[in-house]
């Protein structure tokens, strides 16, 4: 029987650099994870593409996905819905591939309840002032939205103790290396390697 892949969840407050770290990890040729594209009711930012960055949905279409049980998790975050289409995640894990979710903290909690065997990594900022500086510098949010995201961030930071690992995003390259090393270590810890060796020894 095919061994299942590992569900990797990268979460943390808005502006900490989850998207930046994820994109850097996925730009590296040795990365073997599959990225799960989320659905959202947020309007696309400049340069964002439907089906690549998100599946952009109307509120009605998103609520239909909720009713039809098509989401592994979802959350309403600062006025918009965000959610993970469940079929892609299940199918890809069943194929033995690791799936990478980049989601906010409420959604990560829901995934933890459904997939306790997942690997949960919290990306933390060097400081709250640096977090605010990153959201402001990104220039994608109005002043009100920045306030909303900073308020949510204080609550989200308190959740970090529920995660398997906390990775500080001081420098993007270092944060990526830490995340990738954790995944490698986790595969070893979960006896995948031992299992393969056992099989090999049985054959010999």
Ligand X SMILES: Nc1nc2c(ncn2[C@@H]2O[C@H](COP(=O)(O)O)[C@@H](O)[C@H]2O)c(=O)[nH]1
Partner whose binding site includes residue 125, from ligand X, ligand ATP, none (CB under 5 to 8 Å by kind): none
Residue 160 binds to ligand ATP (criterion: CB under 6 A): no
Partner whose binding site includes residue 16, from ligand X, ligand ATP, none (CB under 5 to 8 Å by kind): ligand ATP
Contacts of 66 (CB under 8 A, 6+ apart): 74, 83
Q: Which of 97, 117, 94, 112 is closest to 34 using CA atoms?
A: 97
- Our CB check for ligand ATP shows the closer of 18 and 57 to be 18
Contacts of 25 (CB under 8 A, 6+ apart): 31, 33, 100, 176, 179, 180
CA distances from 115 to 8, 72, 101, 185 (A): 10, 10, 12, 19
Site for ligand ATP in 172-201 (CB under 6 A): 172
- Our CB check for ligand X shows the closer of 18 and 57 to be 18
Vertex 36, ends 32 and 38: CA angle to 5°? 160
Residue 154 binds to ligand ATP (criterion: CB under 6 A): no
Residue 123's beta-bridge partner residues?
A: 167
- Our CB check for ligand X shows the closer of 133 and 194 to be 133
- Our CB check for ligand X shows the closer of 73 and 98 to be 73
| Residue count, binding to ligand ATP (CB under 6 A) | 13
List the one residue from 7, 8, 9, 16 that touches ligand ATP (CB under 6 A): 16
Residue 196 has which token pair? 């393969």
Site for ligand ATP in 62-101 (CB under 6 A): none
Q: Which residues are annotated as a binding site?
A: 12-19
């Amino acid at each position: 029987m095919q061994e299942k892949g590992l569900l990797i969840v990268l979460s943390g407050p808005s502006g900490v650099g989850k998207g930046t770290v994820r994109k850097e990890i996925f730009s590296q040729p040795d990365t073997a994870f599959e990225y799960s594209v989320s659905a959202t009711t947020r309007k696309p930012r400049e340069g964002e593409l439907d089906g690549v960055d998100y599946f952009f949905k109307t509120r009605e279409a998103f609520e239909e996905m909720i009713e039809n049980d098509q989401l592994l998790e979802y959350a309403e975050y600062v006025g918009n819905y965000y959610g993970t289409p469940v079929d892609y995640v299940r199918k890809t894990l069943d194929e033995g591939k690791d799936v990478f979710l980049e989601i906010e903290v409420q959604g990560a909690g829901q995934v933890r309840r459904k997939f306790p065997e997942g690997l949960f990594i919290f990306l933390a900022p060097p400081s709250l002032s640096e977090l605010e500086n990153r959201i402001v510098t990104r220039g994608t949010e109005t002043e009100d939205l920045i306030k909303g995201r900073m308020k949510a961030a204080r609550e989200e930071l308190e959740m970090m103790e529920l995660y398997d690992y906390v990775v500080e995003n001081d420098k993007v390259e270092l944060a990526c290396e830490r995340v990738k090393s954790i995944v490698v270590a986790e595969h070893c810890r979960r006896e995948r390697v031992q299992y393969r060796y056992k099989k090999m020894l049985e054959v010999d």
